[in-house]
């Protein structure tokens, strides 16, 4: 009878363990109509829209405990989801300064609140350390202190395990902001450069992984191609997890094309195609390759027309016969304005040469733009966007951030779709080679 009772108990527990465990993640806001929202956990993704109570509900079956990503509009928010524990995430757009826009209720609210309160450590003290062993000791001590403080809170075991790792990458990522990974630290860096797919959704792990790859892959390299090649070779030879490898491949190729387009990229694409696993990542990189190929050196571009300060239409084709150095900027852009003195120096240095300097503003307030052009006595050819011409120009050259600089050759074709800034000595070296 006892054996039968024990058997029934064990059998019941097994049935319970095999049953589906539902997890409900609710997302709501008291002062903003929520847009369509995506929830990602690992390689799974769910999409939902708000109900009449302005709440979005994700009812999940058998999801593991771990980090997840909520994406709404242009905003992404990392959260922790515990299997079988319901969680409500509340987003408040208008809050007092210093108050978080996010609050949490439910079974893992404390864990999410912990993440909300964490910041990156200040590693400025690293600048005063000269010995590499001192740097390593301080890094390890900082990680240890953070993990000990986390464990003392007696939070979820799954969360504590994952968050301990995330805190390690948080510290290592912060280090690279203040003190770069020198050659003597590479053995330590390689030990830390582990494959951790459970943390791939976190910004800390992503940033550290890419910083580490850039340091190790770029050892002894001096060109964007050399850096990218070194990183890809390291990924091919050392990273086995397909999710981590695909993320790294995508990041390295995307960053290279943003800097150098498709220049000398065939060998890099061969390595990518042999290693990539995800069809989605393969498609994304191949599509980016096609887009950058449209503005490769020697490619013709459509006719683009803008307005000058007198509201007269000016087409880029009018400058054929000269090189055209294009500055894509705006009056509200701080980094753009920082380049203006150097741009004026270039205009003075190459005055009378076969080059014209064209500045194309993306300002929506043309009067503000005109006032600044006059007050700052900006030289060259000052133009402002027109609709739809500017959006088409921006789309063709994939201008996602400004300032951005472009050179057209004397035939009006692309010479360099992403040239160095006026303040970069490499710009003078390039222009000297073209004009002197």
Write out pLDDT tens, residues 398-423: 998 999 999 999 999 999 999 999 99
Rounded Cα distance between 190 and 421, Å, is: 33
Residue 330 in any domain: the answer is yes
CATH number at residue 96: 2.60.40
Annotate 354-391 with DSSP letters as a single string. SEEEEEEE--S-HHHHHHHHHHTT--SEEEE--TTHHH
At 217 the pLDDT is 84
Q: Domain boundary at 117, 135, 155, which? A: 117
pTM: 0.84
Rounded Cα distance between 399 and 328, Å, is: 8
For the chain, the domain total comes to 4
50 and 29 in a common domain: yes
251 and 145 in a common domain: no
143 and 108 in a common domain: no
For the chain, helix, strand, coil in percent to 5 are 50, 20, 35
227 and 195 in a common domain: no
Q: What is the pLDDT of residues 174-219, one digit of tens each?
A: 888 777 787 788 899 999 999 999 999 999 999 999 999 998 887 7
Rounded Cα distance between 285 and 339, Å, is: 31
89 and 32 in a common domain: yes
Residue listed under structure tokens 């408040």: 92
Phi, psi dihedrals of residue 220, rounded to the nearest 5°: 80, 5
CATH number at residue 425: 3.40.30.10
Kindly state the helix (H) or strand (E) to which residue 160 belongs, with its residue range. helix 157-178
Q: What is the pLDDT of residues 38-70, one digit of tens each?
A: 999 988 899 999 999 999 999 999 888 999 999
Q: Is 434 left (phi over 0), alpha (psi -120 to 50) or beta?
A: alpha
Residue among 325, 336, 387, 334 at smallest CA distance from 358:
325
Residue-number span of the structural domain to which 227 is assigned: 218-293
262 and 193 in a common domain: no
Residue 210 in any domain: the answer is no
33 and 113 in a common domain: yes
Residue 148 in any domain: the answer is yes
At 184 the pLDDT is 83
Residue 40 in any domain: the answer is yes
Q: Domain boundary at 89, 117, 145, which? A: 117
Cβ atoms within 10 Å of 203's Cβ, excluding its own? 14
């Amino acid at each position: 009878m006892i054996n039968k009772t024990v058997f029934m108990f064990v059998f019941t527990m097994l049935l319970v363990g095999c049953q589906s465990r539902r997890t409900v993640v609710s997302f709501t806001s008291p002062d903003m109509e929520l847009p369509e929202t995506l929830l990602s956990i690992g390689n799974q993704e769910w999409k939902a829209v708000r109900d009449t109570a302005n709440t979005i509900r994700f009812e999940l079956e058998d999801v593991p405990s771990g980090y997840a990503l909520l994406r709404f509009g242009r905003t992404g928010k990392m959260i922790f989801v515990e299997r079988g524990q319901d969680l409500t995430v509340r987003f408040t757009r208008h809050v007092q300064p210093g108050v978080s826009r996010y609050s949490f209720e439910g079974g893992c609210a404390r864990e999410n609140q912990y993440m909300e309160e964490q910041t990156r450590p200040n590693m400025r003290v690293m600048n005063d350390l000269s010995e590499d062993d001192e740097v390593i000791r301080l890094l390890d001590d900082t990680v240890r202190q953070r993990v000990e403080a986390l464990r003392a809170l007696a939070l979820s075991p799954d969360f504590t395990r994952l968050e301990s790792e995330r805190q390690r990458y948080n510290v290592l990522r912060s280090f690279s902001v203040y003190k770069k990974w020198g050659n003597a630290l590479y053995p330590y860096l390689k030990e830390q450069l582990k494959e951790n797919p459970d943390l791939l959704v976190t910004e800390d792990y992503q940033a550290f992984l890419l910083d580490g790859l850039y340091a190790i892959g770029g050892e002894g390299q001096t060109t964007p191609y050399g850096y990218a090649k070194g990183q890809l070779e390291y990924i091919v030879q050392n990273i086995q997890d397909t999710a981590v490898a695909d993320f790294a491949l995508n990041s390295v190729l995307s960053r290279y094309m943003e800097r150098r387009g498709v220049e000398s990229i065939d060998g890099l694409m061969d390595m990518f195609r042999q290693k990539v696993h995800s069809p989605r990542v393969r498609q994304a990189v191949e599509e980016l390759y096609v887009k950058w190929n449209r503005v490769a050196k020697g490619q013709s571009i459509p006719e683009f027309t803008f307005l000058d300060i007198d509201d007269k239409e000016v087409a880029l084709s009018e400058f054929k016969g000269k090189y055209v150095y294009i500055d894509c900027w705006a009056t509200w852009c701080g980094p753009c304005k920082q380049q203006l003195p150097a741009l004026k120096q270039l205009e003075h240095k190459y005055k009378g040469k076969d080059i014209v300097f064209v500045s194309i503003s993306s300002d929506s307030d043309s009067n503000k733009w005109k006032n600044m052009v006059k007050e700052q006595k900006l030289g060259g050819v000052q133009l402002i966007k027109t609709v739809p011409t500017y959006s088409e120009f921006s789309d063709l050259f994939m201008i996602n951030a400004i300032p951005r600089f472009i050179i057209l050759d004397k035939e009006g074709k692309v010479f360099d779709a992403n040239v160095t800034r006026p303040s970069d000595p490499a710009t003078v070296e390039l222009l000297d080679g073209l004009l002197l």
